[in-house]
Every structure is written in structure tokens, then in C-alpha cells.
Structure 1
């Protein structure tokens, strides 16, 4: 039986995905209630190295069969990531889940759909933000932090500065795997120019 999914652009779901998703129904009630505690940390790509240990701890804490939990997580991760990658609306994602669970009247649907939909919007926002960060990093340095202070220059080797005020900006940025910082001194004129530029860019 082929099940076309919105999250796959209308293509059929992988053969085992429906059966794996239904493993969620067989988890203990407490494990189902906290399912996103296990699913959320496993959503990034690649899966974080600590995810495997966290999965074992989750299985022990909620007495969830490791195999069933793994199958449910694998299927759920696949569906959520594919849906988020396409910016799929919550309603469309729900239709996909309902189809895979057996239809709107299936008892499995009443269990699975509320669980996966409960944090779908938050997951979509988080994955979109992560994709943006990675896209920016692919093309150069990315600003990560801004620290500032105001100083006054009272005197210098070049003469009396007239207690001129300056802004000091320290920008933290990442380039690939490297983190760096640069400190800039801005005159009042350049600070005003920067302010105007920021206003124009934020419109």
C-alpha cells in the first residue's frame, strides 16, 4: 500500500515508516507523554553524539522498550525533519500523520497525532533557525555576540582630545569551527551612521 505524503512532496512514504511510527502507541504512557524530550534533541543533522546515551537514559527512566522507542523515534524524526525542511503547514503535517496512523478513525491516530503535533511548530521554527545559521556559516563569518561600552578620550600623545566620547564595540564571530573577536572604536559620527544603517536594514 502506497501512502503519498505532503512532507515528501507527494511521493510515497518509505515502506516501513507507518509500522515504525505505530511503535509509539506501544510505549508506556509516561514515555509517550515525554516523547519530545527524546525526539527534540535528536532532530539536528547529524544526530548529536550525546543523543545515544540520552536515549538509553530515557528508555530506563520511563521503562520504554529500547527497540520500540528507537523505531518510533526514527520514524518521527524522519517525518518531522522532512516536513520542516519544506516549511510544511501544521495542517498538512497532521494529514500526513493521520494517513500513516491508519486514518482519522484509527485508534492509533488518536494517540500519535496529538503527540507529534504538540511541538511541531516549535520544532519547525528551531530547525529553520538552525538551517539559517548553517547557511550563513557556509558563506563566511557569522556574528554571534555584541558587547559595547562608551568611553571618553581625555588626552592622547597627539594632543588634547577634548574629552571626546567614543563607542567601543566588541563583536564575537564564528568562521567555520573558529571563534574570534574584533574590537572597534567608533566616533559619534560613525555611531550615528551605523544606527541609520541598522534602521534601514530592519525596515
Structure 2
């Protein structure tokens, strides 16, 4: 049974057709990368798939099970610390301990920054606070918009290892990115420029 299914999705914005009659499914164990030039509709599509689109579109999206969505912009509150931000974000999933929170922040390179006000952190560190949610997520489906933004090469490699681990455990990852994934795991690709899935 697919974790996500898109049936005949079409979206027009500003008089321009971004995509038409787009259909695909995401199954447990899959990594799916949405590709396309700037303006091809990658973020618009991923927001439709996550149920967050502000625009009218045609077609249908169905999801099975819980989903974690991380958008292109970091959802970090400047007055809170990384510890407080992460604890707030994951509070609806489970009862995580302080040690769980600290471990997740350490995994994304924020050891020692747990209690620094977030307004004192860099854009890349804000991004890492957001990405730390992945290390605590119990959702089988991850929908991620440009997760590599402001992340260095080492961080990208660690994320791709995490994606592969999540897929091997029966989860699925659907993401947008301008760069090719160098993960040791099969990656399905959805090319919005060409309108094809492979």
C-alpha cells in the first residue's frame, strides 16, 4: 500500500501551466527526488502533497499514515533556544526526554549550542535545528523541501545516510533538491521539467 498517491495533479499559476496530469505513488522503502529547473513547480507540488497548498489545483492526493513535512524555510523561533525549538516541534509526536533532544541536536552538529538563543545562530544552524526533527520523527513519510539548503558537504552526507536508513526501515522520503543525491540506495526521480517519473 502506498504511503502517498498523486492522481492527475495539474497546477496553473499566473497563466502558466506548471504541471499537468501528474500521477505517481510513493511506497514504503522508497527515496523519491523531485527535480526540475527553477520555476518548474517543485515547491508548489510538494506543498500540494503535504496538504499545504494555497493555490487551487486539479487532481487528488491521498496519504496513508503519519507525515513529517519540513519546508524550504526553517521554522525556528528566534527567541527560543535550539533545545526549546526542537522540544516544541516534536511535542505532538511523543514524550521525548531532554537527553533525546540533546542527542538529536548533537547529530546535526549543534552540540554546545543547545541553550544559545536562536537569534544568535547562523542560517545554517537554524536549518540544522529544523533537520534535528528527523532524528526524532516516528512518521513513516517524510516530505522535505530543499533539505540541503545552507548545509555543508558533511551535513549533506549525514542526511543522505539518515534518508537511506529511514527507507530501509520501511519509511519513505520525498524531497526536492537541485543537486543529485549521492546515497548508497536506489533513488526514484520525478522530473517536473520533462513531466516524467523514473
TM-score (norm 1): 0.26
More strand by share: 2
With a CA cutoff of 8 Å and minimum separation of 6, indicate the structure with the bigger relative contact order: 2
Larger Rg: 1
Q: Under a length normalisation based on structure 2, what TM-score does the superposition of the two structures give? A: 0.27
